[in-house]
Amino acid sequence: MSNMENEDPWAWMQPYDVRRFGDVIMDRKEQERWCRAVLLGGLPFMWRKAEVARNLIYDRLELREGDKVLVIGECIEACGFTDDIRNRIGPGGEIKVFDITDEARDNYITKKRGCGGQVATWAWTYTRDIPERHFDCAVCLQGVQHTDDWRETGAEMLRVMKRGRNIVLAEIAYSPETRMKIGLDMHVEYIFDKGVPLLQPAGPRRGLQGPGHRSGSLRLEGNRDFLGAQAVSNALT
């Protein structure tokens, strides 16, 4: 903590900054707009660099030639997920993608709240018309924080999967440890506080627990990203 009268980094823009860049830089809506624009390429950038993490996710899915795979999440094509999975399941496989990028961004901007009260969450109905056990496995990639009820969503994703196969949930997200590390460097803290909203993903474990669901988790941390992934075996007969 500090004794600063105003800890908003934008409030410390000086008259010479305004002269150089124009009055527009003091417009709160413009500040928010450009901060969002800077962040938009973040997911493809981070996931493309996190090749080891991506491969761990695919290994946890235990993908096989000819598999049918359900994928739900953000920036799926841009992050390289689609091509990676196709390469593993081969030409005889099938991948069904529900990309929720625009829906997630629209709900953040409008501050829409789901039934649990969290911003940018909503009921997922993407698979309601898909028959039981249609897919061999399922994966939620960078979408964990956007469903408003993981009990319902988890059960639904398991419903459309074959028994004995895996579902994986993976997210590059902020953790308490990440926030602590940011505070250790004043330069990083300044950039973070100026342009990055702190997002807290909703907990998916509650929706994936129960008899016959064996779960495990992995976590990779580095100076650039934080990955949490959970693999659950749909072992019900």
* Domain ranges within the chain, ordered by starting residue: 10-39, 42-234
Which superfamily does CATH assign the domain made up of 42-234 to? Answer: Vaccinia Virus protein VP39 (3.40.50.150)
Q: In this structure, which amino acid lies at residue 174?
A: Y
Q: Where are the beta strands (DSSP E) in 100-204?
A: 137-141, 165-172
pLDDT at 210 over 70: no
Provide the whole-model pTM.
0.75
Which of 44-53, 91-100, 128-137, 169-178 is least confident? Answer: 169-178
What is the rounded end-to-end Cα distance, in angstroms, of the chain?
Answer: 54
pLDDT tens by residue, 6-36: 677 888 889 999 999 999 989 988 888 887 7
pLDDT tens by residue, 148-161: 999 999 999 999 99
Residues 6+ apart with CB under 8 A from 220: 50, 52, 53, 56, 226, 227
- Mean pLDDT to the nearest integer, 197-207: 45
Which of 82-86, 87-91, 189-193 is least confident? Answer: 189-193
pLDDT at 209 over 80: no
Structure tokens, 175: 């953790």
Residues 6+ apart with CB under 8 A from 205: 150, 215, 230
Q: What is the CB neighbour count within 10 angstroms for residue 223?
A: 6
